[in-house]
Structure 1
Amino acid sequence: MKKPEQPANEPLRIQTLNQLGILDSEPDPKLDRLTEFVAHVFCVPVALISLVDSDRQWFKSKVGLEACQTGRDISFCGHAILSPDVFVVSNALTDASFKDNPLVVGPPYIRFYAGAPLIHKNGSALGTLCLIDIEPRAFDDDDIKVLREVADKVMAEFCH
């Protein structure tokens, strides 16, 4: 399993997360509606708004998953925040970086992952809007565009 690296701007990223005051905050009905929307549109069992903290990823909003957080060291989102592009793993079982990840070989048995980084105006990727499926799947350019647009709406809610 490949552990995610830290972004070059990690201190600024963590400072921005803390300044926004969204970690460990109460549920937000607007964000929950966006999470439910992407789960429905993409027909996935799990959709999350995930914020990547120093040592964990915490779920601000979630559909189809009971856990409130997981370790950053095993997170797919930790990889997704390393680039502004949507990060897609079509089949985690055949991906060298993830095939032995505990979230792949055990519950929730991730096979497909797509995560759009939540990018602050200062350039920091704070987390992701992500989709998870228990079946491998393709994700085309139109899918990427829709997920990116909804992720931008999530980020706008954080910064309003």
Structure 2
Amino acid sequence: MPAPAADGEAARLAALHDLQVLGSPPDPDFDAVVEPASQICGTPMALVSLIDADRQWFKAKVGPSLQQTNRDASFCAHTISGRDVLEVPDATADPRFADNPAVTGDPAVRFYAGVPIAVEGGHHVGSLCVIDTQPRVLAAQQRQALRALARHAAVLMRPRSVAVLAVRRAPVV
């Protein structure tokens, strides 16, 4: 079931594109977000996922070989409409995800937990998520760690955003 577009979707997409992160090369600073997320939560997969109009693009990842997926099949598209951790203990039992190709096929997702990545203006441009092929529930400390790492991912995006805004505001000579 695709996630509904949020109010302010045009502004959210503008904020995402202003970051100039989509399609950028791998960055060890973002890898340093997903690697501990995977370790802390004990999951084989973790992503910094950015949600564009039609796709979900992975800025950093542990596990999957894909670089992007269709937004309509994205768990993270649901995450960005919330304010806190979206936790799906067993995706096969959740009507939003039971028919999702990532659940019914490869990689056989059973567990998902994601936190929105909020940038300047409060726009949720993506999420930090952890994924497993086994059902599970996170401990409170793991949820807290995901929140902290998602805030760090947002900070990593900030310098790119500030530089773009400075160029836009510069006087034309």
For residues 85 and 34 of structure 1, the distance between their equivalents in structure 2, rounded to whole angstroms, comes to 18
Q: Alpha-carbon deviation of 1:143?
A: 1.9
Q: Alpha-carbon deviation of 1:140?
A: 3.1
Contact 2:80–2:124, Cα closer than 8 Å, also in 1: yes
Normalized against structure 2, the TM-score is what? 0.90
Equivalence for 2:104: 105
Contact 2:117–2:128, Cα closer than 8 Å, also in 1: yes
Q: Alpha-carbon deviation of 1:141?
A: 2.6
Amino acid at match of 1:140: A
Q: Percent identity?
A: 40
Equivalence for 1:138: 137
Q: Alpha-carbon deviation of 1:41?
A: 1.4
For residues 152 and 36 of structure 2, the distance between their equivalents in structure 1, rounded to whole angstroms, comes to 12
1:19-72: CA deviations, max 9, x gaps?
A: 110000011111112111111111111000000000000000011110000000
For residues 122 and 11 of structure 1, the distance between their equivalents in structure 2, rounded to whole angstroms, comes to 13
* Higher-helix-fraction structure: 2
Q: Partner of 2:127: helix, strand, or coil?
A: strand
Normalized against structure 1, the TM-score is what? 0.97
Aligned length: 159
For residues 62 and 134 of structure 2, the distance between their equivalents in structure 1, rounded to whole angstroms, comes to 17
1:147 aligns with 2:134: no
Amino acid at match of 2:59: K
Q: Partner of 2:24: helix, strand, or coil?
A: coil
Equivalence for 1:95: 94
Equivalence for 2:15: 16
Q: Within 5 Å, give how 1:60-99 maps onto structure 2.
A: 60-99=59-98
For residues 34 and 83 of structure 1, the distance between their equivalents in structure 2, rounded to whole angstroms, comes to 21
Mark the runs of 5 or more structure 2 residues left unpaired by the alignment. 160-173
Amino acid at match of 1:22: V
Between 49-58 and 33-42, report the one with greater CA deviation.
33-42
Contact 1:84–1:119, Cα closer than 8 Å, also in 2: no
For residues 127 and 60 of structure 2, the distance between their equivalents in structure 1, rounded to whole angstroms, comes to 11
Amino acid at match of 1:122: G
For residues 143 and 33 of structure 2, the distance between their equivalents in structure 1, rounded to whole angstroms, comes to 16
Q: Alpha-carbon deviation of 1:115?
A: 0.4
Structure 1 runs of 4+ off > 4 angstroms? none
Mark the runs of 5 or more structure 1 residues left unpaired by the alignment. none
Q: Partner of 2:122: helix, strand, or coil?
A: coil
Q: Partner of 2:21: helix, strand, or coil?
A: coil
For residues 50 and 130 of structure 2, the distance between their equivalents in structure 1, rounded to whole angstroms, comes to 14
